Amino acid sequence: MAGDSTYVGTYSPVTGFIFLFNLIVGAGALTIPHAFAQVGLFYGLGALCLLGLVSYVSATFVIEAIAGVNALRRLSNPPVLTKQGSLTMILSGASQAVDEASEAVPFLTHIEEEEGYVAGLRFDISEKIEIAAIAQELFSRKGLAAFYACVAAYLYGDLAIYAVAIPKSLREIICPRPSANAAVWECPNVAMNSAQLYRILVVVFGLALGSFAFGHMQKTQCIQLITTIMRHASFALMIILAFVGIGRGEGRPVADVVAHEDITSLPNFFGVCIYSFMCHHSIPGIIAPISKKRSVGLVLLYAFIAVMVVYVVLSISATFRFQPSDIQDVYTLNFNDYPVRFIAYFLSLFPVFTLSTSFPIICITLRENLHTLFKGAPNSPASNRHCSPTTIFAIAAVVPPLLVALCTEDVGMLVGITGAYAGLGIQWVIPAAFVYCLRQRLVVLQTQLKLSSLPKNPYASPFGKMIWLYLTFALSAASLVVITYTRLFK
């Protein structure tokens, strides 16, 4: 999460939609069917729609914050004063660096004739500014530390999920589970039981991919293309195969599906859904290159609608096809015994290939966030003269998730916890806090410049009333209390 703002190339709104859709529909989507089936059809649909709506609202907050912080940064540059009749124009020097050939919002001015000021505020999203830079601009020192701690916690959870899902998927291929309810079983072809094999695969996984955390690695376009194709093919196959099974009479009766409900599983489903709608930390990098900036709002809306449709269809098809107790926490594992072995292996290996390409990137991101979080702290590893800070923070990034993976193989539980706590902070609390702090800063700016009003932010959230911020904070607090209470006392 770099803090630098840079102008980037452009692509069409359709491409932006595809990138955003691919970003949201990731590892979390594989855990939704299991959690959805546990809570029941109606509770699941209601919670999924509610959480999707809140996630969309908070995503619009991120876009508003990007535009607002870009405007504040330009005003922080030394102003260029020019006389024009009886008016004084205060222009941001940074505005001259804008490429006029690209589509950008015109430099907005407000004329205050009585005071003799024209204040330049250019609300713009064509510059890529990461959420870490937004936090640095808007948050206090303590708020910034809390921000980095939340990001680090989320990345730790993300890595733990990957460190469990990949070895678990490999284990199911090497030593297939004899029944859906089997916890530990013998693997005669490798002369050990399933638990031992899983732990060996965790260690091998850590040695193979953890080493990338000590260097620098970027996804190539080829890898992104391959993983994108695999992702869409896998989800399409799972939906089709579920409906084929239902059509053959292998599904559940409608009455059974409607009658099943378990509200005690709802808190875990909340965490899974929050994790599965996560995209907010990467929104700046996706929207900045979109050529038609005025269409960004529609791109975001259509992407969330498309994701919602996929999640609903995937969850409903799984719920009608399998008994809740039979749906694996990684949904692809439900198709391990499919008669067409190519399809069975393809779906089983889907988490292995797609998640493996992301693991090193997330490790490096976590390493850099840890470095930033502890920079300047007393006795910080960053000040260690005997060992490189990169090495220390890389070890700190890789080892804890692997230790968690050695202790549990419950992907659904990890997704639920990560989403319910760190994910809730990044997806709901931080975007709302961004907008709240931004609007306060703009009020102060208006007072300092002695203006009757400020230019309108064309990228402001359509949920602009303060009540939406308060509702987001209230829902976050309520969710946190209920989820924590349920996990501790139920």
**Annotated domain spans of the chain:** 13-75+127-378+385-489
Please count the other Cβ atoms lying within 10 Å of the Cβ belonging to residue 381: 18
Averaged pLDDT, groups of 10, the chain, 490 residues long: 51 86 85 94 94 95 93 68 37 35 33 39 80 90 91 91 92 87 88 93 91 63 68 91 93 92 88 91 85 90 95 96 91 89 88 81 82 64 65 90 93 88 94 95 85 83 93 94 83
- C-alpha closest to that of 4 among 368, 367, 253: 368
> Which two structure tokens, joined as six digits, stand for 253?
């009766």
Residues 266 and 39: beta-carbon distance below 8 Å: yes
Give the pLDDT confidence score for residue 108 in this predicted structure: 33
- C-alpha closest to that of 372 among 122, 132, 177, 23: 132
Give the pLDDT confidence score for residue 160 in this predicted structure: 93
First vs last C-alpha separation in the chain: 38
Give the pLDDT confidence score for residue 9 in this predicted structure: 59
> Which two structure tokens, joined as six digits, stand for 458?
């064309």
Q: Which residue has the tokens 């595809």?
A: 18
Full-model pTM: 0.81
Q: Output the CA–CA distances (angstroms, integers) from residue 305 to 34, 296, 298, 302, in the order listed.
A: 21, 14, 10, 5
Residues 430 and 135: beta-carbon distance below 8 Å: yes
Residues 318 and 300: beta-carbon distance below 8 Å: no
Give the pLDDT confidence score for residue 105 in this predicted structure: 33
The single-letter code of the amino acid at 32 is I
Q: Output the CA–CA distances (angstroms, integers) from residue 330 to 35, 201, 243, 353, in the order listed.
A: 10, 17, 19, 14
Report angle CA 416, 478, 165 to the nearest 5 degrees. Answer: 5
Residue 456, class by beta-carbon neighbours within 10 Å (0-12 exposed, 13-18 middle, 19+ buried)?
Answer: exposed
Torsion, CA 37, CA 43, CA 48, CA 51, rounded to 10: -130
> Which two structure tokens, joined as six digits, stand for 312?
């609903």
* Class of the CATH-defined domain 13-75+127-378+385-489: mainly alpha
Residue 234, class by beta-carbon neighbours within 10 Å (0-12 exposed, 13-18 middle, 19+ buried)?
Answer: buried
Give the pLDDT confidence score for residue 463 in this predicted structure: 93
Give the pLDDT confidence score for residue 180 in this predicted structure: 74
> What number of CA atoms fall less than 13 Å from residue 385's CA on the CB side?
0
